[in-house]
Amino acid sequence: IYIFLFSNTYSETTIFHKKKIDGTRFFDIKFTFESKHSVKKNFNLLTDFLKIHRFNPSVHKTEIVGKDYQEKTILKTTFRNCIHFFCREMIMYESILSYCIDDKLHCVINAEVLPNQESPVYSGKTYWEIKESSKRSKISYKSQFTADIFLPPVFGESIFKKTINRNLMFLKDTIDKY
């Protein structure tokens, strides 16, 4: 309790996983934490897509493959995770719409998966909400996606969930350093 109060941080994570009858996997992830930065600064950090790897150790490379207008970006992200000598890469395409309302006291980032032959993730939505909270900001992340990925029996699901949790905690721990 002392460490929690001393660091003045808060985070909450929920990761739900279900293997479907067709062999695909559905994931539902929710994560909320507080940051010492303003809403605008966090929004700018999280929408700097070419540098998003700073906040997610699984992101190997990002590429902006299109822009429809100022707020909408088409992003290709390559994820890379390794366990000892075994490494796996996964590509995902997303259409991202980002904007602020209420004089930049409330910002939103909406991402929708774009199906692509390169990607095992063929549907999904991610929603970021950044709101003012006592001269700080509260960041909420919600993601639901369906993917055709192989997870080894027994420990695969656990390792995948731990990787997601590790990446979310890394975001929480590093965002205030920028």
Are the CB atoms for 86 and 73 separated by under 8 Å? no
Most confident among 11-25, 68-82, 161-175 (mean pLDDT): 161-175
For residue 2, the model assigns a pLDDT of 33
Which two three-digit tokens encode residue 90? 């996964």
Q: Which has more confidence, 175 or 155?
A: 175
Report pLDDT digits (tens) over 97-128.
Answer: 999 987 768 999 999 999 999 999 989 999 99
- SS3 of residue 108 by DSSP: strand
Are the CB atoms for 136 and 34 separated by under 8 Å? yes
Question: Residue 141 pLDDT > 80, yes or no?
Answer: yes
For residue 31, the model assigns a pLDDT of 96
Report pLDDT digits (tens) over 2-17.
Answer: 333 334 445 788 999 8
Least confident interval from 68-77, 132-141, 148-157, 158-167? 148-157
**The whole model's pTM is what?**
0.87
Report pLDDT digits (tens) over 43-85.
Answer: 999 999 999 999 999 999 999 999 877 779 999 999 998 877 7
Are the CB atoms for 121 and 145 separated by under 8 Å? yes
Which two three-digit tokens encode residue 98? 């980002």
Question: Residue 1 pLDDT > 60, yes or no?
Answer: no
C-alpha 96/C-alpha 64 separation (Å) is: 10
For residue 82, the model assigns a pLDDT of 82
Sheet containing 121-133: order of strands: 11-19, 25-35, 136-147, 121-133, 106-113, 86-101, 72-83, 59-69
Token pair 């067709």: residue: 22
Question: Residue 134 pLDDT > 70, yes or no?
Answer: yes
Q: Which amino acid is at 51?
A: K
Which two three-digit tokens encode residue 44? 């700018």
Task: Identify the burial level of 112 via C-beta atoms within 10 angstroms of its C-beta, where 0-12 means exposed, 13-18 middle and 19 or more buried.
Answer: middle
* The pairing of beta strand 106-113 with beta strand 86-101: antiparallel
